[in-house]
Structure 1
Amino acid sequence: MKARGLAALLLCVGLLCVPVSAAPAGATVWGYSEGLAQCELNGKWGYVDGQRNVVIPLQYDSIVSFQLGIAAVNLNGKLGVIRQDGTYLIQPEYDTLLPIDCGLYIAQKGGGWGVVSILPVPNGQGGSDEVLYPLEYDSVQVAEQGGTQVLTMTKNGVSTKIPVFELPGILAERGVDSAQFPLTRGKLPAFSDVSPRDWYALWVDVAYNVGLTSGVGGGRFAPEQTLSVAEVLKLAATMESRYKEDNFHLRPSEGQAWYQPAVEYCLASGIIRQGDFSETDYTRPVTRAEMARIFAATSLARRMPQINSLTRVMESIPDVDKTVPQANAIYSLYAKGIFSGVDGELTFRPADTVSRAEAAAIVSRMARAEQRLTLWS
């Protein structure tokens, strides 16, 4: 995805364009965060992009700034959580919503308290909803106990205590997507070359937060720097090992290239095969098609559900057909909401290179299911 195409995602729901208009006269625009700013007029709040176009309507009683791609909003006195295209991740029906970690919120409705999630929680009956712990408790709170943050849920005088650090494991046991890549409140980078107004600020924040990317030194992220084959293999190895909950040795043995452990892990995991790349390939820029094939071969991508019609994807991408060796991988990642193309035509540009900013966007969507893109309504 080239920068101009990804910037357009601030105005599009996975290329289903959201109607936008300039902020109305008299509206106040507050500070930017992850590409969007709060906007207020006559007591109603919404969000504008870097050009002061309204991308989420001024309809809320109150809002907060986006952080890690989500924001709490108050609609007619009820609280919910949205992502950057205005889609509700938690419906606006709660009297209280207090963030915990891992995309979880303490929730209160009427006299009942519980815990809700920005990602669907399987309910054990073949369906799912946003409730992790039902709203049947007299109180729910998080407080420090013995140096550890503890979630305490009390009902009829009986308390259930859960250390917050155990919540990712509980989510994984319940079958919640992205449990292996939990969001951590307050863990945000401060790169000198990433502005809160940049289209990629969101993706840099998320990829850094879940531990998939870091800076290049000197307080910089280098968003426009081109990725090599080796760097993509290391990203794939990191996602694979996190998803499968195992490890590979990050440090090379004496005399090995820095990327050799990742190459060996990808070979052992079947992400690449012997002979796919020569020794001289690892340090050259990776193509977008090669990146697609590598990422599509991870266990995370292979087990990811399709959210867009594969048939329609195959019919729609103008510059990818069966003559492209990596076509099936490219189609798959469009169908699973990871790719959206560089323009409104879903153009992919398979031979182009990949920037660090683009890679941050892609691995963020792979790791965090709430950020995957629906291409059509």
Structure 2
Amino acid sequence: MRKKRMYRVAGLLLALCLLLGGQALAAPAGAVVWGYSEGLAQCELNGKWGFVDTQKKVVIPLQYDSVVSFSLGVAAVNLDGKLGVIRQDGTYLIQPEYGTLLPLDCGLYVVQKGSRWGVASILPFSDGQGGTTNLLYDLVYDSATITEQGGTRVLTLTKDGVATKIPVFELPKILEEKGVPSARFSLTRGKLPTFRDVSPKDWFAVWVDIAYNVGLTSGVGGNRYGPSQTLTVAEVLKLAATMESRYKNDSFHTSSSTGPYWYSGAVNYCLASGIIHSGTFDSGDYTRPATRREIAQIFAATSLAKEMSDLNSLTRVKASIPDVTSHTPGASSIYSLYAKGVLGGMDSKLTFKPNGTVTRAEAAAIVSRMVRAEQRLTLWGDYDASVLVG
């Protein structure tokens, strides 16, 4: 009961910080703000740590014994001597209940509780008994180590003198077999871009990091990402084709594009997959800016989007978006992506602006939520990762 009360208090503190003053409270007098990473900075006062935004507003309460900087949208924290993992809104992805927490690839951590060791995932999956679990390898091992063997990182789990060795590069396949969400878009620890036009203080830095890390976006040349550049129809179709191909585990994303233009292969793949249809773009001008409505329609038509669970009430979504009605072209696609936690609107009113365009920074946020389930948005109420398990 004490743990449940502790988690509830932490959640209430976060909610209070977000509600008071419209967004968050200013960092207390005397608090020390450290370096920024992915838009947030560590903040410390009297030995308690949390995170502030670029206006030095507290977005994650100063309640932790220690924290590490955010990387790929997650950070490890120490609460009352126990370690866990949070995302950027303070939600726990791994509850703070472990004595040791060592990062692996793929959103996995080697964990220790008492004398027992195992491996935990930031995303839950079916336990095969009607429930969910975060433990990829149960807490039954005497030890767990990560070593380099012949140029390959190896996870070694030992129980009763018997060692089980798992090459780290095999973890994505193991996660797929277990049905862990986002397994085909696994995170690679340490693989981060260094674009000169993306600052650690930028709101979109986290999304550029994730989209780059999972191999969906790259730069525009000259070590630049081009965050303010407008996304074209061709670029949207290339993103959709790549996500579809990787989700379905076919060969498009590993093959060279054929056709007179760099985007010809993506257009043909989207046509063949039913993501778009002949005549969808009557002018055939794929290099023009895509509208927000078109982007929603394209992404919502992918198998990945169709098979996502809703995190938000579809009925409430339909009643809440102020500039989309049932008569708006593409309304069902727009509503769907809000319900699935991919879209959150342009402001606190959830405004969509269907005829507007999307920047490359905004696109990074959208595709990051498409492929990484732990980053999807809950528009009302608490984040419940178990909903993501189909």
Q: Give the TM-score range, shorter chain.
A: over 0.9
Q: Distance between the aligned counterparts of 1:367 and 1:163, measured in 2?
A: 24
Residue of structure 1 equivalent to 2:384: none
Name 2:328's counterpart in structure 1.
324
Q: Which amino acid aligns with 2:376?
A: R
Structure 1 position 244 matched with structure 2 position 248: yes
Query: Aligned partners of 1:253, 1:113: CA distance in 2, in Å?
Result: 46
Query: Using the alignment, how far apart are the partners of 1:296 and 1:102 within structure 2?
Result: 25
| Alpha-carbon contact 2:145-2:156 (below 8 Å) kept | yes
User: Residue 325 of structure 1: CA displacement?
Assistant: 1.6
Aligned partner letter, 1:343: D
Please say if residues 207 and 363 of structure 1, whose CA atoms lie closer than 8 Å, have aligned partners that are also in contact. Answer: yes
Count of aligned pairs between the two proteins: 368
Q: Give the distance between the partners of 1:12 and 1:242, measured in 2 at CA.
A: 40
* Alignment pair present for 1:221 and 2:240: no
Q: Are the structure 2 counterparts of residues 56 and 255 from structure 1 closer, same or farther at C-alpha, using a change threshold of 3 Å?
A: closer
Which ranges of structure 1 fall in alignment gaps of 5 or more residues?
1-9
Please identify which structure carries the higher helix content: 2
Instruction: For residue 253 of structure 1, report the CA deviation from its aligned partner.
Output: 6.7
Q: One-letter code of the match for 1:140?
A: A
Q: Aligned AA for 2:143?
A: S
The equivalent of 1:267 in structure 2 is 271
Matched to 1:45, the amino acid is: W
| CA contact 2:246–2:253 (8 Å) conserved in 1 | no
Aligned pair partner of 1:360 in 353, 357, 364: 364
| Letter aligned with residue 39 of structure 1 | C
Tell me, yes or no, if the aligned pair for 2:17 and 2:23 is still in contact at 8 Å: no
Q: Which residue of the partner structure matches residue 3 of structure 2?
A: none
Query: Structure 1, residues 55-88: CA drift from partner, whole Å, max 9, x if none?
Result: 0000000000000000000000000000000000
Moved over 2 A (4+): 10-19, 249-255, 278-281
CA distance in 2, matches of 1:37, 1:189: 19
Paired residues of 1:107 and 1:116 also in contact (CA < 8 A):
yes
Q: Report what 1:343 is aligned to.
A: 347
3-state SS, counterpart of residue 330 of structure 1: helix
- Give 2:286's aligned residue: 282
Shift, 1:278, TM fit? 3.1
Question: Which amino acid is the alignment partner of residue 314 of structure 1?
Answer: K
TM-score under structure 2 length normalisation: 0.91
- Contact 1:292 1:326 (C-alpha < 8 Å) held by counterparts: yes
Which letter maps to 1:317? Answer: I
**1:50 maps onto 2:54 in alignment:** yes
Instruction: Work out whether residues 249 and 261 of structure 1, in 8 Å CA contact, stay in contact via their aligned partners in 2.
Output: no
Matched residue type, 1:119: L
1:198 aligns with 2:199: no
Contact between 2:37 and 2:201, CA under 8 Å: does it hold in 1?
yes
Shift of 1:147: 1.4
Is residue 390 of structure 2 the alignment partner of residue 376 of structure 1? no
Query: Could you tell me the TM-score, scaled by structure 1's length?
Result: 0.94
Name the CA distance, whole Å, in 1 between partners of 2:283 and 2:187.
36
State the secondary structure of the residue aligned to 1:315.
helix
Bigger RCO (CA 8 Å, 6+ sep): 1
CA contact (8 A) 2:18 2:59 kept: no
SS in structure 1 of the partner of residue 95 of structure 2: strand
Q: Which amino acid aligns with 1:263?
A: V
Match of 2:306 among 299, 302, 305: 302
- Give how far 1:255 is off: 5.9
Work out the CA distance in 1 between the residues paired with 2:157 and 2:174.
15
Q: How does 1:105-144 map to 2 (within 5 A)?
A: 105-144=109-148
Question: Against the structure 1 CA distance between its residues 250 and 106, is the aligned structure 2 distance closer, same or farther, given a 3 Å change threshold?
Answer: closer
